[in-house]
């Protein structure tokens, strides 16, 4: 992740707090075993267009077997979203949850213009879609039990949207990219405009080909304009009332997530867990461990 490493260095966020390891993890049956067939209410996959601010976004719902209503995970991809984590979606569904995955405006063929602001707005739109009684009935979903899980940039979005929406039951962050916090020192130093070319080059190196309606410079300005608002550690007071689980890896991005965990502990939050997995940003060599960690956290939440 060149962008994220470069911004982390530029922001001087090089100190990482130790993550508290969770106890030895037990392999979930949802990783290895299909659920019992339910002819009346079988597991299914529904593709559709999710409305958001005048655009119709490409979306999929993985519907769990059984009459439900099923709790729902809203699975948020990163920047630009090469790793979609759909193996997680499948295992989460086998554990009895519905999973909604979508592509933000301007990302991977969804119409509209991509920006970080739009991605946050689109996530709110997806939550509103899930809470609509007609949609909840169609997908046998519980509109009152929604959990956000985001990877990389999606982790930043999950934390921010969860902080804004008190109805979200829990927030999961997988190698969350604290992109706002990374550029915040540049903002505080009054160097926004001089920072735009550097940030833009880093974003371009990350790969913007799957994104439409934006430029590296427009994305850099979006980050700089919202750096203070999006800084993950500062969201702790708004997240402390709900379970938060944090997973980090050897990608150089742990500092923002670790700082959030520390801030949550400081204000007395006992519902936060964290685990570090020694692998890359995409968890390429540790997919089973990642699935196990996510499922174990969800098992404590399922109503």
For residue range 34-63, list pLDDT tens digits in order: 999 999 999 999 999 999 999 999 999 999
User: Which pLDDT score is estimated for 303?
Assistant: 74
Question: With bands split at pLDDT 50, 70 and 90, how would you rate the model's confidence at 26?
Answer: confident
User: Which pLDDT score is estimated for 3?
Assistant: 53
User: Which pLDDT score is estimated for 15?
Assistant: 38
Tell me the percentage of the chain whose pLDDT exceeds 90: 89
Distances (CA, A) of 57 to 54, 108, 202: 10, 10, 27
Cis check: omega of the bond before 139, within 30 degrees of 0: no
Classify 2-15+28-299 by CATH class.
alpha beta
Look up residue 277 and give its DSSP letter: -
Q: Which two tokens stand for residue 257?
A: 């997530």
Average pLDDT over residues 157-173: 98
For residue range 168-223, list pLDDT tens digits in order: 999 999 999 999 999 999 999 999 899 999 999 999 998 899 999 999 999 999 99
Question: With bands split at pLDDT 50, 70 and 90, how would you rate the model's confidence at 68?
Answer: very high
Q: Which two tokens stand for residue 122?
A: 């689109």
For residue range 104-119, list pLDDT tens digits in order: 999 999 999 999 999 9
3-state secondary structure of 256: helix
Domains in the chain: boundaries: 2-15+28-299
CB 252 within 8 A of CB 2: no
Average pLDDT over residues 125-133: 98
Distances (CA, A) of 160 to 7, 60, 227: 19, 23, 12
């Amino acid at each position: 992740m060149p962008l994220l490493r470069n911004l982390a260095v530029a922001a001087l966020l090089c100190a990482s707090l130790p993550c508290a390891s969770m106890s030895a993890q037990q392999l979930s049956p949802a990783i290895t075993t299909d659920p019992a067939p339910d002819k009346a209410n079988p597991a299914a996959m529904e593709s559709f267009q999710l409305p958001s601010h005048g655009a119709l976004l490409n979306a999929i719902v993985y519907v769990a077997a059984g009459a439900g209503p099923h709790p729902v995970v809203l699975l948020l991809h990163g920047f630009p979203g090469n790793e979609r984590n759909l193996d997680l979606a499948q295992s989460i569904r086998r554990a009895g949850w519905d999973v909604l995955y979508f592509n933000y405006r301007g990302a991977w063929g969804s119409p509209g213009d991509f920006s970080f602001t739009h991605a946050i707005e689109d996530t709110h739109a997806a939550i509103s879609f899930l809470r609509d009684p007609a949609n909840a009935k169609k997908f046998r979903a519980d509109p009152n039990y929604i959990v956000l899980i985001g990877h990389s940039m999606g982790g930043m979005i999950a934390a921010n949207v969860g902080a804004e929406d008190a109805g979200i039951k829990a927030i999961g962050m997988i190698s969350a990219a604290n992109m706002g916090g990374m550029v915040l020192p540049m903002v505080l130093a009054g160097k926004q405009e001089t920072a735009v070319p550097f940030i833009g080059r880093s974003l371009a190196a990350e790969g913007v080909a799957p994104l439409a309606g934006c430029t590296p410079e427009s994305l850099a300005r979006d980050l700089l304009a919202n750096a203070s608002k999006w800084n993950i550690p500062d969201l702790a007071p708004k997240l402390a009332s709900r379970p938060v689980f944090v997973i980090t890896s050897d990608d150089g991005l742990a500092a923002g997530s670790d700082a959030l965990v520390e801030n949550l502990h400081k204000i007395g939050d006992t519902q936060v867990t964290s685990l570090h997995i020694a692998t890359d940003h995409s968890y390429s060599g540790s997919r089973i461990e990642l699935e196990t960690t996510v499922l174990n956290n969800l098992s404590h939440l399922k109503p």
